[in-house]
Structure 1
Amino acid sequence: MKSRYFNFLFSLFLTLYFGPEGKAQSTIQYDIILEGGRVMDPETKLDAIRNVGILNGRIAMISSEPLQGKETVNVSGLAVSPGFIDLHVHGRSNIEQEFQLHDGVTTALELEWGIENLKEWYASRNSKALINYGASVSWPYERFKAINKDEKILDELRGLSSSGLSSLSAMQDRIQHTYTIDIQSNQMSSVLENIKASLAEGGIGIGVPIGYLPSTKPEEMYQVFKLAGELNALVFTHVRQPDIISIQEVIADAMLTDAPLHIVHINSMSLGSIDMALDMVNSAQQNKFDITTELYPYTAASTRLQSAMFTEGWQQRLGMSYGDLQWVDTGERLTKETFEAYRKTGGMVIMHMMKPEWIQRGIAAPGVMIGSDGMPYSKLAHPRTAGTFSRVLGKYVREDQVLDLNTAIEKMTLIPAKRLEAIAPMMRFKGRIQVGADADITVFDPNTIIDKATFEKGLEFSEGIEYVLVNGTFVLKNGKTVSNVFPGQGVYGKFKK
């Protein structure tokens, strides 16, 4: 990656000095100029009015002096930030990506569950994505493959992994139905080999959502963490249950195996014990363990009603009742009768289970990243699918003043980029407004930015995001999606062959 950076700087020097035709010159015509905006780089702490020159998909100049460009856009009065990086999404198509780019996201990664058949999935998105994409290895799927040797079933699942959302849900349900099956020693070896093979296809670490396979034996989990420690492969985990003991389980496994660990949505995993959970993560970091976490800025969670999360005893485990569940297809609150009926047919449900003060404390905590856990598209899907980042900047920065603008941007850009650099080296060029960085840029109005999606009315584009560039190409201009451009690139793990 260093050579890529220096090669870019050297080519930029040659162009600046000699020009495209080899003639010496002191100025250059950039592809795009963002003129007069408040440029905010969380790594160098730059926060000043500057002009940004973009050339060949990269940031080539940041200057207080006028710049010449083929296209100049006046962004005075607006913040010019690195594009937001979302480590936790579940939508796999441009339908979800359009909502994400209207929320300022330039890189959206499926790292909790991961994606099945990674090689085929990456190929299916090549030159078709609005924003950058990538995924982890799906431990549930690699486990399923080790248990099920029926090639007909595996071929069917290969076809489902890149197809429609209803097929995707059916596939994940089939995988989850094996969660009560104990792994045999020979099968465990196959699981580990499957994981290594998928890492070689580009997987960004290992997705280990134990919470959807909660009967998995601790011994099996330990073996997965042990492999991650040996490879220095980052583990992304939804813990076994929403409680402190489950958070302790994964932290202990990570410490014992030296596996890098990222705990997803710590707000919904710790609930009222969020202070203790954050303290444990912070203590692990102070003791030099590579452990991080994230949260989303809403008081409700969302998942499939047919999942193992709702097996007998769910009310006590989650501290919820039927009326706290909202059926996505209709927006209705459930009763005992509708719960039982809908659990048989299957579908998405929103779980109203958290208090506002828990979210505030989590957002304010140093080092905690923002991740949306954005769901597959449905009109009444959880609003985090469309509004996570704008909500942080509008509600928690401007309105509630839980944190300042610079800190919020850092949590959305630099911190997630740096979290992934060891496992996905190209992230070194993202999350920054610096010469040589990828021109993934979000331009927004700090005075108006806000989420518009709601639990009652469904998904809606956020407000206040004016321009978004991905790899130097506009995908959003004047708040409108640019048609027929697909500059999103695949983000791959370091093991890719």
Structure 2
Amino acid sequence: MDGTPREPAACRPPAHGSGSDGTLSNNAYDLVIRGGRVIDPESGRDEIADVAIRSGTIAAVGAIPAASGEKALDASGKIVCPGFVDIHAHGQSVAADWMQAFDGVTTALELEVGVLPVAVWYDRQRAEGRVLNHGVSVGWIFARKAVKAGIAPDPELHPMEMMGQGAGDEGGWASAVASAGEIAQIQDILSAGLREGGIGIGIPHGYAPGAGVKEMTAVCGIAAQAGVPTFTHIPFMSNTDPQSSEEAYVRLIGYAAATGAHMHVCHLNSTSLHDIGRCRELLLHAQGMGLPITVEAYPYGTGSTVVSAAFFADPEFPKRTGSAYGSIELIHNRHQMRDRDDLLGARRADPGALVAWHFLDLERNDGHRDLLDLSVLYPGGAIASDAMPWVEPDGSLYRGAEWPLPRRLSSHPRSAGTFSKFLGDYHRKRGKIGLREAIGKCTLIPSKVIEGCLPQMRRKARLQEGCDADIAVFDPETVAARASFTDMTAHAAGMDAVLVGGTPVILDGTLDTQARPGRAVRGGRRDDEP
């Protein structure tokens, strides 16, 4: 992000006239956002200007004459920028969309885990209606479960519920190497999912660490041939060899070099643990050699996943990760694990239960804060939330649509405040990054991860004439995350307005609970939604 102005990537020319004084004429716009500080990371634009919207598109940016009867939003003193693009969002529900809208997100994609079957998932989102733009990758781990354990993907289940299936490692789906015949079957399933519109291949390898190099090169080969990214959770999470995080990243770099596949690193912060510095150096060196590798992180030292994750059950877990079992707690009831037996009991009781893992102690350890900074401020790295679903007190997933969200619900605080926390902490409070660069890490950088296979994304993550009117308007002095592990349903502060395809989801800080403007972001074929 060097600030050099650039031409728009693929936005249509605007449909407006220009007066002799250089002002832009008003042609019955649907909405004009007036007097805000307009920031567009791609073009380098950073100035006080008006933004006019017509038919879901940004029709004009500049000095727009007022017109009688126009619908206008006063953005004086506010930032007007592209809506945030979250390429790692597991919530995928109306309730999750609402919380992410207050975090400035307009496009929320489930790419690390993915789904199966892909077409059925997209059909369901269309039928039920979504607040934010949405999309998914093809779920490698579900193909593996189907082939090795006979666990057929169940479209009635949420992907996080499907992750908890087969916690007993039936058929060795998590621990065993696949045969040549099984690899071929997995490849067929993944290829079919890409044809159905999957945005690349989700590879949560850490949940099936037994998958070998031959299988991974075969899977990456499919991605390379199709010209789509892989979204990878590395197989090993440990500070010690063998099977350390560093070894896992060396493998990932090797897959990029050997197959040509675009390897996207999911949550560098949580998978590197205390070895973030060294893992970061390896990735930067690989990128410097021209390998197709991209990186994301979120600004928390606490991760979240299902209790059945394979790495928790490792008898050497405390030694290998530097974390005691007490660092793992069930999200729905805040129960902290006493020991390995307690953990294994929780796995047997509900393998899909969500847990929080406090792998860094940011309150008492400045060195841990420095480690997190290395991942969050990774050069050219994206911010991505890894937002989790909302769960009931009994651990079941919430499928309702109440607002405000009932306080009985729980999730990781990042599900409510990742981008706002990044802007509030790293830009305003700590001065670690400039505002335009920070916005770029939330918009343009994540969008570019997938634009190569999704041309429609070139109309998003930009505040330019002709681009989609996915827009966030926020107060730079108050934007902040408010959610915590003691108040999980507190939505983020500072978002005055959030528009998805030109439709206000939030206006004057108030949520429109009836709005469902979200549209599918879909690979493989054109977006066939209106």
The 3 A distance-change label for structure 1 pair 162 and 319 is closer
Would you say the 8 A contact 2:263–2:294 is kept in 1?
Answer: yes
Paired with 2:440 and 2:174, the residues of 1 have a C-alpha distance of: 38
* TM-score between the two structures when normalised by the length of structure 1: 0.91
Trace 1:38-187 onto structure 2 (pairs within 5 A): 38-68=37-67, 70-126=70-126, 128-147=129-148, 154=152, 157-161=153-157, 167-168=161-162, 170-171=164-165, 173=167, 178-187=173-182
Q: Give the drift of 1:172.
A: 7.1
Alpha-carbon separation, structure 1, partners of 2:180 and 2:345: 38
Name the aligned partner's letter for residue 247 of structure 1: Y
Q: Does 1:205 align with 2:200?
A: yes
1:250 to 1:169, Cα distance in 2 relative to 1, 3 A:
closer
Q: Is the 8 A contact 2:118 2:193 kept in 1?
A: yes
Aligned to 1:9, what secondary structure does the other structure show?
Answer: coil
**Contact 2:88 2:109 (C-alpha < 8 Å) held by counterparts:** yes
Mapping of 1:163-312 within 5 angstroms?
167-168=161-162, 170-171=164-165, 173=167, 178-242=173-237, 243-312=245-314
Q: Does 1:345 align with 2:349?
A: yes
Q: How far, CA to CA, are the matches of 1:172 and 1:300 in structure 2?
A: 26
Over residues 213-253 of structure 1, what are the superposed CA-to-partner deviations in whole Å (9 max), with x where a residue is unaligned? 01111211121112222222211100011211101111111
- The 1:285/1:468 distance shift into structure 2, 3 A limit, reads same
Tell me if structure 2 keeps the 8 A contact 1:200–1:496.
Answer: no
Query: How far has the Cα of 1:434 moved from its partner?
Result: 0.3
Q: Tell me the distance in 1 between the aligned counterparts of 2:148 and 2:70.
A: 57
1:464 aligns with 2:459: no
Q: CA-to-partner distance for each residue in 1:290-319, whole Å, 9 max, x for gaps?
A: 101110100111111122121222222222
| Deviates further, 417-426 or 222-231 | 222-231
Change (3 A) 1:228 1:159: closer
Q: Is the 8 A contact 2:86 2:105 kept in 1?
A: yes
Residues 28 and 145 of structure 1: CA distance in aligned 2, closer, same or farther (over 3 Å): same
Closer, same or farther: CA 469–29 of 1 in aligned 2, 3 Å: same
- 1:308-347 equivalent positions in 2, closer than 5 A: 308-312=310-314, 313-336=316-339, 338-346=342-350, 347=353
Structure 2, unaligned runs of 5 or more: 1-8, 19-23, 238-244, 361-367, 392-408
Normalising by structure 2, report the TM-score: 0.85
8 Å CA contact retained: 1:124, 1:162: no
Question: What is the SS of the residue equivalent to 1:97?
Answer: helix
| Identity score, percent | 34
Deviation at 1:64, TM superposition (A): 2.2
Pair 172,370 (structure 1): closer, same or farther in 2 beyond 3 Å: farther
1:131-180 per-residue CA deviation (whole Å, 9 max, x = no partner) reads 0000100011122333356xxx63xx3343459x7x54544758886213
Answer yes or no: is 1:357 the counterpart of 2:374: no
Residue 496 of structure 1 deviates from its aligned partner by: 6.3
Give the drift of 1:412. Answer: 0.3
Report the AA paired with residue 263 of structure 2: L
Aligned-CA RMSD value: 2.3
Structure 1 residues 247, 67: CA separation in 2 closer, same or farther (over 3 Å shift)? farther
Whole-angstrom CA distance in 1 between matches of 2:220 and 2:337:
38
Q: Output the CA distance in 1 between the equivalents of 2:308 and 2:471.
A: 39
The 1:172–1:89 alpha-carbon spacing in structure 2 relative to 1, beyond 3 Å, is farther
1:399 equivalent in structure 2: 429
Deviation at residue 457 of structure 1 after TM alignment: 2.6
SS at 2:33 equivalent: strand
Conserved in 1, the CA contact under 8 Å of 2:26 and 2:64?
no
Amino acid at match of 2:323: M
Q: Deviations over 1:325-345 (max 9, x none)?
A: 122122232212533432221
- Work out whether 1:476 is the aligned partner of 2:489: no
The 3-state SS of whatever aligns with 1:30 is coil
The CA distance in 2 between the partners of 1:205 and 1:258, in whole Å, is: 14
5+ long unaligned stretches in structure 1: 18-24
Map of 1:442 onto structure 2 = 472
- Equivalent pair of 1:115/1:161 in contact (CA under 8 Å): no
Distance 2:526 2:165 in 1: 25
Distance of aligned partners of 1:285 and 1:495 in 2 relative to their CA distance in 1, 3 Å threshold: farther
The size of the alignment, in residue pairs, is: 477
- Name the CA distance, whole Å, in 1 between partners of 2:54 and 2:526: 28
Q: What is the identity, as a one-letter code, of the residue corresponding to 2:419? A: F
Could you tell me which amino acid in structure 1 is paired with residue 185 of structure 2? S
